Amino acid sequence: MWQLYQFPLCPFSRKVRLLMSEKGIGYELQRENPWDGRDEFFHLNPAGRTPVLADHGKGVVLIDSRAICEYFEETVDKNPMINGSAASRAEIRRLVALFDENFFGDVTAPLLHERMKKRLVYRASPDSRMLREAMKLAHEHLDYIDYLIDNRPWLAGAQMSLADLAAAAQISVVDYLGGIDWSGHEQSKGWYALFKSRPSFRPLLAERMDVIQPPSHYADPNA
């Protein structure tokens, strides 16, 4: 059985969980707070980051969310998520990088720092200027999702792909932390509402961090 080392608000672990669930691959959760810096975890992953996926019985350890997703895309046929021509696959991977790197750096990372790490680790108050800037950038990213959904059924084209999972994973973390204002983003909201009702997404939306609670609309597929 796969053991997924993760914490509830890690967007990259969420992406892997969505992919595994869509592909019907079972796994158990192992809570790992990277800020604890556990020696055993650094022994497993010298980069010290979640997610790490291990099958200790088989001696397999997979590290880095994109490497993990590519691995399951290559080894499990069900529900392909990096599909189509080489150009289509490049478009899926472009958007995965856009959400993993730009959206994460602009929005998710500052929100996690201000509203999670400062509370749990540093016992400090969030910086309201940083929060405002991150939420402004969230609007720009949602504008881009609105534009994509105006032109395509799913973010990368005609079918749901890893691009959608990567985007939904980031957005769900930011939404949990109260960083998404959906007003004026009807296309993004409609696309995201489809996700909220998927069986792969329900377990993620039901999880809670200690101390930090999400806004009331967070897990409601009709809100």
- Looking at the Cβ atoms of 94 and 136, the one nearer to a copy of itself is 94
Among 37, 39, 57, 86, binds a copy of itself (CB under 8 A): 86
- Residue 208 binds a copy of itself, judged by CB under 8 A: no
Least distance from C-beta 93 to a copy of itself, angstroms? Answer: 4
Least distance from C-beta 132 to a copy of itself, angstroms? Answer: 21
Residues with Cβ within 8 Å of residue 109, at least 6 apart in sequence = none
- Looking at the Cβ atoms of 70 and 133, the one nearer to a copy of itself is 70
Beta bridge partners of 61: 54
Residues with Cβ within 8 Å of residue 132, at least 6 apart in sequence = none
- Residue 94 binds a copy of itself, judged by CB under 8 A: yes
- The whole-angstrom distance between residue 22's C-alpha and the CA centroid of its chain comes to 14
Burial environment of residue 81 by CB neighbours within 10 A (0 to 12, 13 to 18, 19 or more): buried
Task: Find the helix or strand (DSSP H, E) in which 135 lies.
Answer: helix 128-151
E runs forming strands in the chain: 2-6, 27-31, 52-55, 60-63
For residues 18 and 165, is the Cβ–Cβ distance under 8 A?
yes
- Closest CA relative to residue 138, chosen from 158, 164, 110: 110
Choose the binding region for a copy of itself from 2-10, 65-73, 128-136, 151-159 (rule: CB under 8 A).
Answer: 65-73
Choose the binding region for a copy of itself from 19-27, 89-97, 171-179, 187-195 (rule: CB under 8 A).
Answer: 89-97
Among 1, 60, 124, 158, binds a copy of itself (CB under 8 A): 60
- Residue 113 binds a copy of itself, judged by CB under 8 A: no
- Residue 47 binds a copy of itself, judged by CB under 8 A: yes
Site residues (vs a copy of itself, CB under 8 A): 46-47, 60, 62-64, 66-68, 70-71, 74-75, 86-87, 89-90, 93-94, 96-98, 101-102, 144
